[in-house]
Amino acid sequence: GMEGKAAIVSAKVRDDGAAALEPIFLRIGEKLAGIEARHPGVTMRLTGVTYVSASISLSMISELAWSLFAAASIILLIIILALRSPVLGLFSVLPNVFPLAATGAMLVLVGMPIQYTSVMSFTICLGIAVDDTIHLLMRYRKLQRSGVAADAAVRQTLREVGAVLVTTTLIMVGSFLVLQVSELPMIRLFGLMCALALAWAVIGDLIFLPAILAWWERRRSKV
């Protein structure tokens, strides 16, 4: 009889990422369940390094994504409380979401799936980008309270803080690009993602944020 006997069936799959492989594994699992139903006493199980790692990857990336969302929400609340202005807090959203969205869009364009290192770099760069935004908004707020007109406050903020942000960003981007000499693909990807996100972040802070502030003040002056 077949009692106590087992067989292993191996197959190769393309390394298309956990998200692309999940529906394939689900279909295979359904077919195996159908075979079990037709043959009582036969047990079939899908396993292997690729299957297990794909399942774990999807779970971990999902948890990291939720952590990133939670961190962004907490940061927004802190900015609102620190500046005592819900409006300025909301204005900080676009320049800080932009670098993550732009870097994510580049991943899509080159056909690269989201990995642990991608989400980790997003989390790190979000903190750095928010730090730059807070410097700009705090200086802008201080100038406004001292009686400086809104447009002049925006320009003066860019003169005083902009050069510092560009310099520190260039230093950090250079530091992350050094990681491209690493032999580990994961380290190279991490360095490249951080460098790209930081470059987009300084654009968001020095172009989008001042434009939003200027637009808002002109809109308020017309009311």
Q: How many CB atoms lie within 10 A of CB 130?
A: 21
What are the tens digits of pLDDT across the range 90-124?
Answer: 888 888 888 888 888 888 788 777 676 777 788 78
Instruction: Check residue 1 and give its pLDDT.
Output: 45
- Tokens, residue 2: 């077949």
* 174 pLDDT above the threshold of 90: yes
* 163 pLDDT above the threshold of 90: no
Instruction: Check residue 213 and give its pLDDT.
Output: 87
DSSP-assigned states of every residue in 42-104? ------SHHHHHHHHHHHHHHHHHHHHHHHHHHHHHHHHHHHT-HHHHHHTHHHHHHHHHHHH
- Alpha carbon of residue 189 to chain centroid: 13
Bigger pLDDT: 37 vs 58: 37
Rounded-to-10 torsion of CA 73, 192, 111, 70: -10
What are the tens digits of pLDDT across the range 20-33?
Answer: 777 888 888 888 88
Q: Which residues contact 65 (CB under 8 A, 6 or more apart)?
A: 119
CA atoms within 13 A on the CB side of 213: 30
Report whether 61 contacts 119 (CB < 8 A). yes
What are the tens digits of pLDDT across the range 197-212?
Answer: 999 999 999 999 988 8
Instruction: Check residue 167 and give its pLDDT.
Output: 92
Report whether 99 contacts 125 (CB < 8 A). yes
